[in-house]
Amino acid sequence: MGETGPEKKANSRGKTTVLTAKWVLPSVKEGLKEDWAVAIEGGKISEVGPKERVLGRYGAKEATVEDLGERLIVPGFVNTHNHMYGVLSHGITVPVSPTGFMSFLEDFWWPYVEDRLNHDLVKTTTALACSEMIKSGVTAFSDILEAPYAIPGALIAEAEVVESAGLRGILAFEATERAGEKIATLGIEENEGFIRWSRERPSGLLGGMMCVHTTFTCSPSYLRRSKERAQLLGAMSEMHLSESKFEPEICKSRYGKLPVELYQEIGFLDGDVLASQCVKVTDEEIDTLAEAGVKISHMPLSNCEVGGGIAPVVSMLERGLTVGIGTDGYITDFFQVMRGAFLIHKAAQESPQVMPARTVFDMATRQGALAMGLKDVGVLAPGYRADLVALKTDLPTPITQENVYDQIVLFLGPQDVDLVMVEGNVLARGGRLLTLDEEGIKAKMREAARRFWKF
């Protein structure tokens, strides 16, 4: 998949890279800084501060200094929930018309998409998704692969492409009992094997999670088994939680409990759980999630696609929950997804005060990283990974300390992503991908989609 490979790493032994720019936004806590610089050593940030101070400190060393001019340096965006194979469905026309959430899964998504995936399709879609994430300024992501007839080995096939792209990825297979006992067992084993495999990779960019689907495709004993395996491995767990009213209704009818109550009863909930969707959760369930320290992934646009509703994210944030933002494999432009999070809650609550751009930016960076268990990503600070993005600021109105978050979330886009760096590697510069052959990937993807769409 590589074209020219990443530019020489900014962490070469004995070598320091210093990036200077008109603007640096280390985090929402630090706020916007003018004429600052970021120093990088060993793939990590060694200093962030006023340009003159940083250059003075590293001037005596053999440092590579790059002036990014009027650019704005920010932490790389973190996509907390993706389905990279989902690009296969963009524009797809199938001979069914889903009538509701469960119909969407049973009549369309499972038979026409997930159940037909193989290793070659996984690799092709992963390459396309990685190229789109890099162009959107995403430097770290969590992906859930749902391909019951592509295991074993599907996660490693996916991971090899991610690693060659240079992105930081937490990958998992969606274990479920919907396709029978054999595949249910293989699903947990796929995650276990990948978690171990990823920890041995020299790049340090890959990680794994133990992912399960839902309480309506997994029995309580299966959910408990998956959690126990994750705990033995010291790994996080993830599940899709109440994406629509369907799961709470069927969980209540089967077990006499709401999904969060069931997860609590079986000992599933703790600070090492990432709950995705969380659209139809009650106030009491939010309290339980907060008390357990569960992390949340919010998908504002894909929730609209399936008619699931609008997640009560404002209430979650008020209760102190850590909430990240995910694309869910639907709209892949991360700026559009951030705008969705900014807008829909204002409309739902009929208040322009909720979900300010500052909060959305924090969710897309620092909170997203914490939600995925990445404690040294999402902020530009000494000791953190050198995962960052430089944005063009050629806007018709000025960037200021007061409006910088609105300018980023509302008025910038992938076309403004000028430089993307992960672990000190430059993955894109001037809008051109350096680790992936974008045109070749698109051509291969189009041909794969033509074949895949023949039912």
Question: In sequence order, what DSSP letters do the residues of 247-307 get, joined into one string?
Answer: HHHHHHHHHSS-HHHHHHHTT--STTEEEEE--S--HHHHHHHHHHT-EEEE-HHHHHHTT
- For the chain, give the percent of residues with pLDDT over 70: 96
Residue 160 has pLDDT above 80, yes or no: yes
Residue 443 host element (H or E): helix 438-452
* pLDDT single digits (tens) 378-392: 999 999 999 999 999
Per-residue model confidence (pLDDT) at position 14: 52
Angle at 123 between CA 117 and CA 128, to 5 degrees: 105
What fold characterizes domain 77-371? TIM Barrel (3.20.20)
Please state the separation of Cα 56 from the chain's center in Å. Answer: 37
Q: Which of 6-10, 387-391, 411-415 has the lowest mean pLDDT?
A: 6-10
Residue 265 has pLDDT above 80, yes or no: yes
The two three-digit tokens of residue 297, written as one number: 């992934």
* pLDDT single digits (tens) 85-135: 999 999 998 888 888 878 888 999 999 999 999 999 999 999 999 999 999
Per-residue model confidence (pLDDT) at position 1: 41
Domain edges within the chain: 16-75+377-438, 77-371
Per-residue model confidence (pLDDT) at position 98: 85
Q: Which residues pair with 211 in a beta bridge?
A: 174, 238
Percent helix, strand, coil in the chain (nearest 5)? 40, 20, 40
Per-residue model confidence (pLDDT) at position 10: 47
The two three-digit tokens of residue 215, written as one number: 């309480």
Question: In sequence order, what DSSP letters do the residues of 69-102 get, joined into one string?
Answer: TT-EEEEPEEEEEE-GGGGGGTT---S----SHH
Per-residue model confidence (pLDDT) at position 373: 98
Assigned superfamily of 16-75+377-438: Urease, subunit C, domain 1 (2.30.40.10)
Q: How would residue 12 be classed by pLDDT, with cut points 50, 70 and 90? A: very low
* Residue 23 CB partners (closer than 8 Å, separation 6+): 32, 33, 34, 36, 70, 71, 72, 73, 393, 399, 404
Mean pLDDT of 42-51: 97
**Number of other CB atoms surrounding residue 97 within 10 Å:** 8
Mean of pLDDT over the chain? 95
